[in-house]
């Protein structure tokens, strides 16, 4: 079992390619109300969780709700790929503005597995090259997370490690 220590109040960024299991992990370990997913916010602003043209508006709304939750002292999990530096920087900024620790949980599965899973989903229609690009972005991300301000970086490699992970909350004081 891998124990992931997380402060009781944190902004948790899930990081992983499409099909790595972020939403599944979020469902398993957190309350539905703690999880802000990019899909949910795209649907909220555009009635379509895959409408990429809605991403800017969706993330603006997501960051706003994340900020509100942190101001109120609620642990918040961001379920998005978080593979781009600028996307992660926005989360670190929101966390810092509220004196909350930003934490990253990276889910790293073999690209072939993520692709297999994606092909089995009616709600994902992108091509293989999109996944390959995400995988490349993930490789780059490893060297950046700590520098970007994530105070804890938990990396789960492979399905077994992901499935065996447990969250343990650290008391703040
Ligand atoms: P995007 O939302 O596209 O970025 O993907 P995601 O990272 O949220 O992946 P998601 O959690 O939706 O997982 C995709 C599929 O993989 C799910 O429908 C599950 O069937 C399968 N899956 C995800 N996590 C696990 C896991 O831990 N174990 C097993 N056996 N299957 C998993
Ligand atoms: Mg998902």
CA 173 – ligand 2 centroid, Å:
33
pLDDT tens across 73-88, in order? Answer: 999 999 999 999 999 9
CA 19 – ligand 1 centroid, Å:
5
CA-to-CA dists, residue 127 to 23, 116, 118, 134, angstroms: 20, 12, 10, 11
ipTM of model: 0.98
Instruction: Supply the pTM of this predicted model.
Output: 0.97
Mutate to test the pocket of ligand 1, among 17, 24, 62, 134 (most ligand atoms within 8 A of CB): 24
Residues in the chain: 173
């Amino acid at each position: 079992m891998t124990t992931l220590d997380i402060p009781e109040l944190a902004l948790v960024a899930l990081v992983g390619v499409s099909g790595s299991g972020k939403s599944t992990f979020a469902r398993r370990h957190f309350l539905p109300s703690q999880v802000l997913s990019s899909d949910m916010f795209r649907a909220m602003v555009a009635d379509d969780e895959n409408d990429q043209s809605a991403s800017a508006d969706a993330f603006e709304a997501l960051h706003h709700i994340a900020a509100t939750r942190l101001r109120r002292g609620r642990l918040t999990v961001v379920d998005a790929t978080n593979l781009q530096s600028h996307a992660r920087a926005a989360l670190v900024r929101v966390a810092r503005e509220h004196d909350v620790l930003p934490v990253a949980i990276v889910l790293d599965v073999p690209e072939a597995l993520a692709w297999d899973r994606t092909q089995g989903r009616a709600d994902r229609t992108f091509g293989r090259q999109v996944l390959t690009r995400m995988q490349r972005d993930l490789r780059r991300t490893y060297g950046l997370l700590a520098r970007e301000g994530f105070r804890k970086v938990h990396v789960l490699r492979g399905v077994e490690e992901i499935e065996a992970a447990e969250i343990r909350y650290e008391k703040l004081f």
